[in-house]
Chains A and B, each alone.
Chain A
Amino acid sequence: MQENWTTIDTDVLVVGGGVAGSMAAIPALEAGLKVVICEKGKVLDHCGSIGCGVDHYLTVMDTGPEWDTPEFLIRHVPELTDYIVDTAVASRVIREMPRIFRKLESFGIDFKDRETGDYYRLRSFGLPGTYHINFDGTDFKKQIGERVRKGKATVLMRTMVLQLLARDNRAYGGIAFNFRTGEWYAIRARAVVLAAGDVNRISKNASGLAFDSWHFPYDTGDAHAMGYRSGAMLANMESVEATLTPKGFSCQGLNALVSLGAYFVNRRGERFMFKYDRKGENARRAVIADAAINEYLLGNGPVHLDCRHLPQDMLDRMEHTLQVDRYTLPAFYKQKGVNFREELVEISISELSIRRSGVYFRGSGLAVDVNGETSIEALFAAGDCATVSGGIAGAAVLGHIAGEGSVRRMRESHGALPAIDMAAAAAMRAESANHLESAGSMSWKELEDATRQTVTDYVGVRRTDKGLRLALDTLGALAQREPALKADDLHGLMRVHEAKNIRLNAELMATASLARRETRTGSSHMRLDYPKTDEQNWRKFVIVERGSDGPRVRTLSTDRPLADAFARSVQTA
């Protein structure tokens, strides 16, 4: 036992207790392994980006028709992702969808419509079938959390993991601290699963409030940053994701709106989506966002949501569904004095996030193999921090795959875990403590504001070589000031580390964006100086890894799985 440290030895360490992390913990617990979950929230039932609830779940169910088979959806994946996808991993995820769906049902999650007793399946976001089950998922996460609790995982709440423990390209734990108590943990594990979600608070939105974000603002790319610092391979970091939100409140709900038949109209009342995609409002999210961005840039704004043509029963379903995803949306409309059933609602582009660029199965983050294992042995990733992401279903399925992978990896590992280099751990802790003690010159809010302004201006939806270089200069200068960041309390110290992770992710995004000299998936990666999609030369992944003096970039063909380039032996499924 080290002085002033709580040391824990476990089989599997899971970073993040959302859907992906909890689903990773479950097979490990079922295999009788010891599992420690570190979570920045306080309860597993409600943490992660769907802690409030979820209104739809994407799955193939294999009920008979061809479109409902994994192979049919797999065939459409290249087109859905504009050909930038790890087909091997995406195929594994899709093939596992029916099994994991049935497993979730076995937890007591009721995906059926309360009135009809059947699944209410809708088509949206360019998918080639009615794969989205619309359901009341208010308690979805609660039932998953309960399963983890029953399995007797050790859950460390209000605890942030700051650094991975890795040696010789193998992960063996992490360093974490509790931002309520100040307790520090050195955790050794035979396998680590990163499931800390996407990257938010990285660009500005209409309200100007950093924490008013469509996705969970407490997901700050911690997994991306930790993985990067340990030498893991990241891909697709150039792609950004945006959605359409009621102006002033960045909230969820686009899927419910478009799948239930809402329209978007421009200043002239024109239903413009068909100009951009023959599927109109049923196009992929990336296309919908891109269309609205273009309308604003063409001077055709404001854009409005129009539900006035919908029948009452559809409006009732829409109203109910929207508050499952975001409980406070009805209150927002009420305070605003808007009735979306009868009036147009002004729409804004949301802030940007690094997630999966508005398309399914192309995630931005840690490259994984078909078992969810990253380029670092015994380090797994799942959910919105991994290169194959598919919303809640993607998180559940890849999370479970990663959990099973970690069980196999753990059973293969023999011998004692490396001793933790406590001198290095103490140095890292002292550096962190400096933020509390120093009369620092910069607050985490200032660092974040400067990062957001830079991303919004030069790394967001209109990119140029010059702008990206300007952004990299600014982001590099900000990094120099990080040691002087000041925290008022332990909570502030947690935010300091989040702000550093956000800045680092912005740098990785700008670096990857500079490398991809083409435009792909519209505003997800729009290079004004290379406005065309270059199928000849750019059906490639942009890879970002830690170099000796900052991020190092290379490209890999999409013809091969990313894992083929991993510097470790790859397991077979």
Chain B
Amino acid sequence: MADAKTHNPIRIDPETCVKCNLCDWICPGDIIYKEEDNRETLPVIRYPDECWYCGLCQSICPTSAIDIIFPEQMVRNRTDVVSLLGKVPE
């Protein structure tokens, strides 16, 4: 399981969430866990660092309670692309 410092991309508004289970049902990565048949508990983003940023949870949410937030390393990326293009061994 991811630790507390891990960026959580899936923000669920507890006020508007109707605790319906659809986000758990649709997530292709098995990341969102929602206790079934319990209208009291909120969904839990159990494995936030395994998110694909597909937004299926957001698209299916009946009350638009979900926002997808991209982390800094995605929106303001500073990686040198050449570092991804392999090394030539001596």
Contact = CB atoms under 8 A, between A and B. Distances in A.
Interface of A: 40-43, 46-47, 51-52, 158, 179-180, 203-213, 216-218, 247-249, 251, 293, 296-297, 301-302, 326-328, 331-332, 335-336, 348-349, 351, 456-458, 460-464, 466-467, 470, 488-489, 491-492, 494-495, 528
A448 B76 CA distance: 25
B30 to A, nearest CB: 6
A51 B56 contact: yes
Given A209-B74, A248-B73, A216 B86 contact: no
A560 B47 CA distance: 47
A140 to B, nearest CB: 14
A211 B52 contact: yes
A302 B77 CA distance: 12
Nearest to B2: A445
A47 B89 contact: no
27 contacts: A42-B24, A51-B28, A204-B84, A205-B84, A207-B73, A207-B77, A209-B49, A211-B49, A218-B52, A248-B75, A297-B82, A301-B81, A327-B55, A328-B54, A328-B68, A332-B74, A335-B69, A335-B70, A351-B84, A456-B84, A457-B86, A458-B86, A460-B86, A464-B88, A470-B89, A494-B30, A528-B88
Contacts of B70: 248-249, 331-332, 335-336
A52 B56 contact: yes
Given A46-B56, A488-B1, A296 B30 contact: no
Interface string B44-79: 001101111111101100000000111101111101
B52 A467 contact: no
Contacts of B55: 52, 326-328, 331
A46 to B, nearest CB: 6
Classify the interface of chain B: helix, strand, loop or mixed. Answer: loop
Contacts of B26: 42-43, 46
Given A216-B52, A249-B53, A467 B84 contact: no
Interface residues of B, number: 38
B75 A332 contact: yes
Given A297-B82, A464-B89, A467-B87, A249 B74 contact: yes
B4 interface: no
Contacts of A296: 81-82, 85
A462 B88 contact: yes
B27 interface: yes
A65 B59 CA distance: 40
B65 to A, nearest CB: 15
A46 B87 contact: no
Contacts of A51: 28, 54, 56
A266 to B, nearest CB: 12
A467 B81 contact: no
B61 to A, nearest CB: 12
